[in-house]
């Protein structure tokens, strides 16, 4: 039985909680017929977390994405076409498979190893590697919904704008884009880290603090509406400017392309700030 038939027959009537629970149980129970998971070390490299926590965070942001899509006119259903930009190993993408046929689900990432993991887990969906500076290999107006989780939170301002502009091109008129970035909550968290002995910090926390050595100045710039970023050195071979990035509301409203209407920015609904935009024009 194909993944498409299996999911339609077994899970289409599940509630969100039942569906999330099935995905969690599928870590240990392959008989559920759900996508397999990559090795633990790959999950830790991609998400800096163990699998259970990575899935919990994925279910939380999926719930937000689904809510925003419904609120702004693109509820998920069999006709929906979805792009997960920065799909990684498919931690968020797999949550769409109850509502969206696998063939209508596309994911892309600059990390070939992560894309390969997504392809193995969900062979009936479309996962591909992309180059950081190349145009997206999709036609204009291809997707009803685009999500990008924890991607813009690591990109410097010029790349941020380049990515959002590319996503706007392939989003259908009336379609919804949901993306996450860092906000004032993370600046506050970093100040707590800075008060701790350095030897008590994780390596990733130390890299973040090194990327923004003057947190008071960074916070002030952010509150004044200035984009704030710092280079951590992670993924230097793929993305030289990769690091941590904080996009204030006013900056997003002013700098995102005119083809997108920013309809919601929420700093409390998930662990990162969530930006929702709709492509202008008649749906």
- Tens place of pLDDT per residue across the chain (283 aa): 455 446 766 898 999 999 999 999 999 999 899 999 999 999 999 998 999 999 999 999 999 999 999 999 999 999 999 999 999 999 999 999 999 999 999 999 999 999 999 999 999 999 999 998 889 999 999 999 999 999 999 999 999 999 999 999 999 999 999 999 999 999 999 999 999 999 999 989 999 999 999 999 999 999 999 999 999 977 766 777 899 999 999 999 999 999 999 999 999 999 999 999 999 985 5
The domain in which residue 203 lies consists of 184-246
- Selection from 15, 140, 10, 5 nearest residue 66 by Cα: 15
Residues 94, 114: one domain?
yes
Instruction: State the DSSP H helix or E strand holding residue 277, giving kind and residue range, or none if neither.
Output: strand 273-279
Residues 203, 167: one domain?
no
- CA 33-49-239 angle, 5° bins: 100
**How far apart are the C-alpha atoms of 177 and 171, rounded to whole Å?**
8
Residues 78, 201: one domain?
no
Which tokens is 154 given? 């690591």
Residues 16, 82: one domain?
yes
Residues 114, 234: one domain?
no
Q: What is the CATH number of the domain that holds 95?
A: 3.40.50.150
DSSP-assigned letters across all residues of 18-33:
HHHHHHHHTTT-GGG-
Please name every residue paired with 177 in a beta bridge, in sequence order, or none if there are none.
146, 277
Total of domains in the chain: 2
Which pTM does this prediction carry?
Answer: 0.95
**How far apart are the C-alpha atoms of 152 and 183, rounded to whole Å?**
11
Residues 177, 92: one domain?
yes
What's the DSSP call for residue 226? -
């Amino acid at each position: 039985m194909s993944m498409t038939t299996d999911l339609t027959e077994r899970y289409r009537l599940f509630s969100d909680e039942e569906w999330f629970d099935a995905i969690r149980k599928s870590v240990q129970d392959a008989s559920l017929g759900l996508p397999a998971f990559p090795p633990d070390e790959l999950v830790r490299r991609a998400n800096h977390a163990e699998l259970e926590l990575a899935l919990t965070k994925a279910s939380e942001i999926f719930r937000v994405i689904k809510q925003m899509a419904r609120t702004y006119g693109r509820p998920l259903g069999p006709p929906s076409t979805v792009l997960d930009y920065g799909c990684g190993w498919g931690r968020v993408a797999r949550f769409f498979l109850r509502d969206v046929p696998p063939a209508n689900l596309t994911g892309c990432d600059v990390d070939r190893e992560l894309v390969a993991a997504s392809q193995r887990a969900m062979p009936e969906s479309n996962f591909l590697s992309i180059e950081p500076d190349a145009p997206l290999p999709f036609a204009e107006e291809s997707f009803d919904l685009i999500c990008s989780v924890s991607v813009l939170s690591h990109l410097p301002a010029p790349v941020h704008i380049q990515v959002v502009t590319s996503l706007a091109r392939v989003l259908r008129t009336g379609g919804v884009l949901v993306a996450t970035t860092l906000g004032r909550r993370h600046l506050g968290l970093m100040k707590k880290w800075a008060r701790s002995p350095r030897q008590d910090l994780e390596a990733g926390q130390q890299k973040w603090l090194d990327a923004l050595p003057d947190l008071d100045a960074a916070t002030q710039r952010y509150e004044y509406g200035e984009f704030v970023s710092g280079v951590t050195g992670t993924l230097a071979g793929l993305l030289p400017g990769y690091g941590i990035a904080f996009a204030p509301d006013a900056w997003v409203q002013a700098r995102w392309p005119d083809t997108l209407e920013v309809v919601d920015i929420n700093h409390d609904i998930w662990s990162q700030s969530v930006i929702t935009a709709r492509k202008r024009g008649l749906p």
